[in-house]
Structure formats: structure tokens, C-alpha cells
Copies of this chain bind each other. A is one copy, B any other.
């Protein structure tokens, strides 16, 4: 399994969606504010998540994204594989042609590890995570922060910093 920040961002964003599952569509701008992920990057990620059928989108004012099904029916593994094309730990992508068209010495090890990770992440759904105490606490903190602060144009703010230097 490939574990990159891309996959982490995707899971975080999807978890945010799961937390607001009962509130109608959530905009990427909201997720961006709450989770500190750039809007344009979220757009890229959600294009893939949509293609994989994990989320539905509605355009226009009041629109946004929502999970295509219950949080309990979406394993974390699906989210990660949706944005990170490759899923294998092995070099050859499971084709066993790692070295001179033959299986390399450690091929078995990596396949086994892959399936371990896959199993673990398949066993945990967004729904599972939402119910965790720690997640609830962090989510509550994020809500408070959002209410106290004005909506901010993050990229504009960053641009200011950049030009100031």
C-alpha cells in the first residue's frame, strides 16, 4: 500500500464530510478552512473521489459534496486507493517481474505486508472513525475555531506573504 500525504489529505477530507453527513452538501471551501488543505488541491482530490463513486457533487450555490453512501459503508482503504493510483508495496506491482523478469528475493515479504495493510484499512470505515472519542474532540475544536474566525481567503493571504518578502 502506498501511504503518502495525498492519501492522508483525502482521508481527512472524507472524514470531514462524514462528520457533516447529515447537514446537506459540504463545500470544499469549508473543508479547506477546517482542515487546512488548499482549495485547489482539494479539487484535484475530489475529482478522483468522484470518479471512484465515493462522493456525489452538486453545483451552484448551496452545492458541494456529500458521501455517496453511509460513512459505515466506506472503508478507509477505498479512499486511499482512489487518490493514490498504485496500491502495492512491491516494486513490480504484483507482477513478480521485479528482477530480470523474475521474482525478486523479497517479493513475498512485500506482498504479504501489502495484504496486511490492506486488511487493516479495509476493516476501518469512515463511520468507525467518526465514533472515536479522539476524533470527536478534534472535530469539536475545529467547529469552534471556524465560528470564531472570519472566513479567510487562504491563497490570497499566502500571496500577500509571498509578495511581502
Contact = CB atoms under 8 A, between A and B. Distances in A.
A102 B21 CA distance: 24
Oligomer: number of copies: 2
Interface string A104-116: 1111111001001
Interface residues of A, number: 38
Taking chain A's interface residues, is the majority helix, strand, or loop, or is none over half, making it mixed? helix
Contacts of A109: 11, 76, 124, 129
Nearest to A3: B89
A40 interface: no
A106 B3 contact: no
B129 A120 contact: no
Contacts of A138: 102-105, 107
Interface in A78-130: 89, 91, 99-100, 102-110, 113, 116-117, 120-121, 124, 129
A36 interface: yes
Contact of A104 (B12, B105, B107, B113): B12
B120 A113 contact: yes
A102 B5 contact: no
A39 to B, nearest CB: 16
A135 B108 CA distance: 8
Interface of A: 2-3, 5, 8, 11-12, 15-16, 35-36, 76, 89, 91, 99-100, 102-110, 113, 116-117, 120-121, 124, 129, 132, 134-135, 138-139, 141-142
